[in-house]
Chain A
Amino acid sequence: MAAPESGDGNNGAARMVTLISSDNTRFEVEAAAASLSQTLQLTILDGGGGGGDGIPLPNVDSATLSKVLEYCIKHAPAAANGGAPNATAVDRAELERFDNEFVNIDQSVLYSLIMAAHNLEIEGLQSLVAKKVADMIKGKSPMEIRRTLGFPDPTPEEQAEMNAHMLEYGWAYE
């Protein structure tokens, strides 16, 4: 990755950037890790986030941001290798183990991660959380999906509508 003119990260110590969560917690993280976010990448390439400035992230709270950065730090080396073509099987298995562990979390955290991954445009994390939610609801009926995701129980009208739409795709339930 080409370093910006003002950057000093290519010699020895990696360049660091500072991210500021919605509750004003500052996170210092390697630029390479933060750059997994498409949203942040441009700012960082422009030399932002260095020194005392920091990049404010008003949509992400500190708990979520620390979780997101945990993901980014773990995945940054592989991403720097251009999708890790020369990664060993061990490395890949380790990442996979990490991912599985990573999304084994409370639903509210998972929800925050979906939003953060979307806002920050972190492709790998988006896929990971989408896959997690898909696995949670796979094979379930509409009611079970609602319960799994903590939707309130449907009103009688909503229930009737659900039943009506069930008929439309009768083939899918056989």
Chain B
Amino acid sequence: MEDDTETAVPDDALAGIFGRLPPHTLAACRCVCKAWRALIDARGLLLPHALPHALRGIFINYIDYPRPGLFFARPSASTRHGIINGNDLLGYLPASTSSDISVLDHCNGLLLYGGARELYVVNPATRQWERLPPLPADASEYLAYLVFDPAVSLHYEVFLIPRVPHKKSRRFRLKKKDKKSRRWYLKDDTAPATSFNRSWCFSTDNSASCAEVSTEMEHSEEQAKFSPSSLQVMEEAVLYPTRQASSSSSSWEGHFDDPYRLMEWPPPSCTVQVFSSVTKRWEQRSFVREGEAVGTVEDVRLDSFPWMYLGPRRRYAVYWRGALYVHCQAMHEYFCTFIIANYFCRLSMINPKYKVIATPIGIEEGKSGRSYLGKSENGVYFATFCDYYLLRVWILNESCDNTKWVLMHDIDLESSALWAALHLNNHRKIDGPWILDEDNNDSDDVNNVVPTPYFEWDSDDDNVLGYEDKDEYEHAYIYLLGFHPYKEVVFLMASYIGIAYHLNSSKVQYLGKLYPRDYDLSSVRGVHESFPYTPCLLGGLSGIRQ
């Protein structure tokens, strides 16, 4: 077949050939020539192979642990189909200089990875990654979320959602002492968080703070002129804002000079920083609020948690059917959920809106409970624990303009087979089918842990446990690691044991141990964040390669 005649082979005939090929040959065909590549992409022929529609494991960030994003999964002999082993995971990323690096978000196979000063988008299945341009603002004022749907587009977006403004406390900020001297020093600063002010367009007459914004912006443009030593100082200030301030914050009770206190929340419109892989830059996008305000900033703000409080995290986001749902909390705890609607409409800048939905639990319960927003079989789920063992799960029902949470499960884990999993671990010290994938430098050890390679965890049948009573003095702190993205199963951690709990059948599966080998198991530590991971084998991070 000559090249010119080859191009004459009709698309349908070519597609008939491609449809009979295994994925690796199909991927090879995609490289053969432009016409073939265009056809394979246009018809999405690689999609079924690239999106195996499977849960591969869970990425976990531990509190006070140097290695971020440990992968808890059933190990596999192969890295094909997005199964990851050991250092393959994130080890190929450039060494980070910051200590606050962690996995920040996961969306349909892409990870957002980084810290307050740098962000990477990573596809662990293809080991491709991309470093985003410098953040447009003080990242400590934001949480970053990823939006990606490979079935629709290979492009992704990263949203910086501002935190609800917390009450002023004494925060150490960098202030320029003298414009000419180029010297900076740390100042005990009680000024409002300026980046917040910039990103939330309040209808406020507080002109004083607006003026301050402009000067701050002017300063920030000069940040490039920092000397290395002052950079380091600034990093500490951002990362540990209350290290020195905490002693004085308890006495800081006055409301009189809090400029945000009586502002409407959420604001009538909000401007969000968005990185688009199409334009390759950060841009501002404004969203108009749909529906009524919840109250004032003061109403929704919770001051009971100190800044240092690290986890578990309660601000997850779900991307579902074109909308980004962000669990939005003041400080670390709050009762509202954001919807930034019509993601793909937003791409064309048509009618960008957002609205606030109250979570099904009240503020007080939100303060004490552990809640989790996630995606599972039927959409957006919200789960919370109270009284240690009561797990309640709601699903968001959005039919006919009526958005409400429907309570699906009300489970008392105290009388469940969960205890069998703990006994299994305590008494027999056996390893589960899943392991925590740690640094594999001492691979002998790991090999001992995993005698045989497993290929696929059977989410229905593996290691199902029978019911066992809880011992009288037994106690377990239960943490929700996440929802199974395709089945009504929750992943729990109880006393550093990973467990899968089937919401409909109450079936319990023992997964494996969840403590890193060199982790100090003092009570204040544990899992900070966890992200169930579904691989996406589509290449390209929109065409950018390392």
The answer to whether A and B assemble together is yes
Q: Which listed residue, A107, A118, A140, A149, touches B10 by the CB 8 Å rule?
A: A118
Q: Is B46 an interface residue (CB 8 A)?
A: yes
Interface mask (B31-48 → A, CB under 8 Å = 1, otherwise 0): 111100100000000100
Q: Which of B16-34 contact A (CB under 8 A)?
A: 16-34
Q: Is B79 an interface residue (CB 8 A)?
A: yes
**Which stretch in A35-43, A76-84, A161-169 binds the other chain?**
A161-169
Closest chain A CB from B162 CB (angstroms)? 35
Q: Is B280 an interface residue (CB 8 A)?
A: no
For this complex, into which size category does the number of interface residues on chain A fall? 35 or more
Q: Is B126 an interface residue (CB 8 A)?
A: yes
A126: chain B residues at CB < 8 Å are 13, 16
Q: Is A131 an interface residue (CB 8 A)?
A: yes
CB atoms of B17 and A134 under 8 A apart: yes
CB atoms of B21 and A174 under 8 A apart: no
Q: Which of A120-140 contact B (CB under 8 A)?
A: 126-127, 130-131, 133-134, 137-140
Q: Is A146 an interface residue (CB 8 A)?
A: yes
Q: A126-B16, A138-B21, A162-B32 are in contact. Are A169 and B1 (CB under 8 A)?
A: no
Closest chain B CB from A68 CB (angstroms)? 14
A152: chain B residues at CB < 8 Å are 2-3
CB atoms of B20 and A130 under 8 A apart: yes
Closest chain A CB from B180 CB (angstroms)? 50
Q: A130-B13, A168-B545, A169-B126 are in contact. Are A137 and B29 (CB under 8 A)?
A: yes
**Which residue on A lies nearest to B123, using beta carbons?**
A171
Closest chain B CB from A133 CB (angstroms)? 5
Which has the most chain A C-beta neighbours within 10 Å: B1, B28, B81?
B28
B31: chain A residues at CB < 8 Å are 142, 162, 165-166
Whole-angstrom distance between the alpha carbons of A168 and B542 in the complex?
10
Q: Is A115 an interface residue (CB 8 A)?
A: yes
Q: Is B412 an interface residue (CB 8 A)?
A: no
B25: chain A residues at CB < 8 Å are 134, 137-140, 145
Point out residues on B near A: beta carbons under 8 Å. 1-3, 5-6, 8-10, 12-13, 16-34, 37, 46, 49, 78-82, 125-128, 537, 539-540, 545
Apart from A117-B13, A127-B16, what 16 extra A-B contacts exist at CB < 8 Å? A111-B1, A114-B13, A115-B8, A115-B13, A118-B12, A134-B17, A140-B28, A141-B28, A145-B32, A146-B33, A151-B33, A165-B30, A168-B540, A170-B539, A171-B126, A172-B26
4 interchain residue pairs of minimum CB distance: A168-B539, A172-B27, A169-B27, A134-B20
| Interchain residue pairs with CB less than 8 A apart (13) | A115-B13, A134-B21, A138-B21, A150-B1, A151-B32, A162-B31, A164-B545, A168-B539, A168-B540, A169-B30, A169-B46, A171-B81, A173-B24
